[in-house]
Chain A
């Protein structure tokens, strides 16, 4: 008899919050290098969204049944037991033709309109840091019907000079994937996109939605965070929902499922060292 589950970790809370953004019956895709999202899709499919068409990143396997989560995405363990398999052109064609219901994207910089940068820090003339790049994120930010944004590095602690390097920034050094408004102020509605853009940002500090102007708005905090703490760690001002909530925690059965799907705790690698010990009483 195992101990009953009485707490959940920050990772498990984030996975649950990501899963809640997934509608039943849609086709949703997770990219590579995103264990929190991979687990969220499997959690959704095994709870409220059994009819989800789950497409795994990198392998393009449909409805796989992985034995365990691996630290790299294009691994046979991740596509095991798939119902069928797509290839790269079919997956992106599905998005371009309006049949991808939701995609998950992240960034080293995320601006108030949901634009994101995973390409480079610094400008074209002075490259300060070359980031790995966005995979198909640019295309999918335009084409997927909805986008869930996530980051496990919202918290921006003071450095030795007393400054913060924000993850949520006023402006991205490079726009890899597009949100609700271009860097020069054009609204998304002027672009010929089928996709409606991001509708939430799940972070290690809380959950944002987007207001009618397409600006990020704080919608929920966690049991150990406040709107003031979120503001302190965010590089732009943001509105706060009138009914600001404390995010719902996953049920014990869901937590058990996450722990079974990820026995090597790969998803913890997305979290900062301090965040790996954050826990919440159920």
Chain B
């Protein structure tokens, strides 16, 4: 239980809860509400050997792979969909053997997290039998159901060392409010040993209670106010996905590890001492304001995808 009255801290203090070699559940999904500012801080702090787990992800896991932070990936998908295609840093890291491939499937992951949440050693599922996930995950066992006689797969409880989330609002006690799809964030928060969260805004408890508590405070270890902390992924309604920045990212990543380090990691991560400097580096107030114009009209919204 995390019960301290005031969980606010700085971004470096927040990220210090992640240790080398930890099993890390990164929240959000694809181009939506990834805790990017926290991940950039992880890289700046030189964290190593992380074992990432999750469902469908993109630039978040690719960035960590490009920075050499990841030792194993148990994500169900890492890519840029039809937008840009395969994730270049993730691919390179997997193919070189630097990152161990432990791909998972969404429902298998959900049931593993639910086992942890329920205090059970495992949960049974039907699916996966006859696929190559059986060989990839020798820890999955099969059993004959004592009630129906069917063969079921047992998937062990998954208790990440730390969940890294980005939410819209928190109060100082750590109650969280997330708008829109929670993806696996609620499951991650309940299953993980510690939960660190960046938020767009820290508000008074009364105001948060009015919006609704998505994740109760006692799961949450620490919170840090980081406006635009999901950039370049979206955090609607505050801001849309920054496709132009993501395209720049992708173009550098595709050209190889060295170019990515020089022309992306250096200017946007390692040479930015903090999030404020990052926001200036990506174009400052002008660019951030543009990402909020999605509300103006359908045409304006569409222009953000050019």
What residues of chain A have their CB less than 8 Å away from a CB belonging to chain B? Answer: 32-35, 58-61, 67-68, 70-77, 79, 85, 87-89, 92, 95-96, 115, 119-120, 124, 127-143, 174-178, 182-183, 186, 188, 191-194, 263-264, 266, 269-270
**Which A residues are in CB contact (< 8 Å) with B106?**
88, 92, 135-136, 139
What residues of chain B have their CB less than 8 Å away from a CB belonging to chain A? Answer: 29-32, 55-56, 58, 75-83, 86-87, 90-91, 94-95, 97, 101, 103, 105-108, 110, 114, 125-133, 135-136, 150-152, 180-184, 186-187, 234, 236-237, 240-241, 243, 294, 298, 301-302, 305
Whether A77 lies near B187 (C-beta < 8 A) is: no
In-complex Cβ contact of A139 among B128, B150, B237 (8 A): B128
Whether A266 lies near B298 (C-beta < 8 A) is: no
With most chain A CB atoms within 10 A of its CB, the pick from B76, B97, B103, B108 is B103
**Beyond A88-B110, A133-B78, A142-B128, is A73–B30 a contact (Cβ under 8 Å)?**
yes
Q: Which 3 A-B pairs have the closest CB atoms?
A: A136-B106, A132-B79, A142-B127
With most chain B CB atoms within 10 A of its CB, the pick from A61, A89, A183, A186 is A89
In-complex Cβ contact of B126 among A85, A131, A142 (8 A): A142
In the bound complex, how far is the Cα of B214 from the Cα of A85, in angstroms?
A: 15
Whether B151 lies near A71 (C-beta < 8 A) is: no
Whether A127 lies near B81 (C-beta < 8 A) is: no
**Which B residues are in CB contact (< 8 Å) with A92?**
106-107, 110
**Beyond A71-B243, A135-B56, is A270–B82 a contact (Cβ under 8 Å)?**
yes
Chain A to chain B contacts (Cβ below 8 Å), 7 pairs:
A68-B301, A71-B83, A92-B110, A96-B126, A139-B108, A143-B127, A183-B132
**Beyond A60-B181, A88-B110, is A134–B126 a contact (Cβ under 8 Å)?**
no
In-complex Cβ contact of B105 among A68, A77, A138, A174 (8 A): A138
**Which A residues are in CB contact (< 8 Å) with B105?**
134-139
Besides A74-B30, A127-B95, 6 other CB < 8 A contacts?
A: A74-B31, A74-B32, A87-B181, A119-B101, A128-B95, A134-B103
Q: Which residue of B lies closest to A70 (CB)?
A: B305
In the bound complex, how far is the Cα of B127 from the Cα of A194, in angstroms?
A: 10
**Beyond A136-B106, A138-B131, is A129–B83 a contact (Cβ under 8 Å)?**
no
Whether A87 lies near B76 (C-beta < 8 A) is: no
In the bound complex, how far is the Cα of B105 from the Cα of A140, in angstroms?
A: 9
**Which B residues are in CB contact (< 8 Å) with A68?**
298, 301-302
In the bound complex, how far is the Cα of B129 from the Cα of A178, in angstroms?
A: 9
**Which A residues are in CB contact (< 8 Å) with B91?**
129-130
**Beyond A136-B106, A138-B131, is A130–B90 a contact (Cβ under 8 Å)?**
yes
Whether A33 lies near B181 (C-beta < 8 A) is: no
Whether B103 lies near A119 (C-beta < 8 A) is: yes
**Beyond A136-B105, A139-B106, is A73–B132 a contact (Cβ under 8 Å)?**
no
CB proximity of B101 to chain A, nearest CB, Å: 7
Q: Which residue of B lies closest to A92 (CB)?
A: B107
**Beyond A58-B29, A138-B105, is A71–B130 a contact (Cβ under 8 Å)?**
no
Whether B81 lies near A186 (C-beta < 8 A) is: no
In the bound complex, how far is the Cα of B75 from the Cα of A134, in angstroms?
A: 10
**Which A residues are in CB contact (< 8 Å) with B151?**
191-192
**Beyond A96-B107, A134-B77, is A139–B127 a contact (Cβ under 8 Å)?**
yes
In the bound complex, how far is the Cα of B128 from the Cα of A136, in angstroms?
A: 11
In the bound complex, how far is the Cα of B110 from the Cα of A70, in angstroms?
A: 27
In-complex Cβ contact of B131 among A32, A58, A72, A176 (8 A): A176
**Beyond A68-B298, A191-B129, is A32–B56 a contact (Cβ under 8 Å)?**
yes
In the bound complex, how far is the Cα of B125 from the Cα of A92, in angstroms?
A: 11
In the bound complex, how far is the Cα of B180 from the Cα of A7, in angstroms?
A: 39
Whether A127 lies near B83 (C-beta < 8 A) is: no
Whether B77 lies near A72 (C-beta < 8 A) is: no
In-complex Cβ contact of A266 among B56, B82, B114, B150 (8 A): B82
In the bound complex, how far is the Cα of B133 from the Cα of A119, in angstroms?
A: 10
With most chain A CB atoms within 10 A of its CB, the pick from B55, B78, B126, B128 is B126
In the bound complex, how far is the Cα of B236 from the Cα of A119, in angstroms?
A: 31
In the bound complex, how far is the Cα of B183 from the Cα of A73, in angstroms?
A: 12
**Which A residues are in CB contact (< 8 Å) with B76?**
133-136
In the bound complex, how far is the Cα of B91 from the Cα of A119, in angstroms?
A: 11
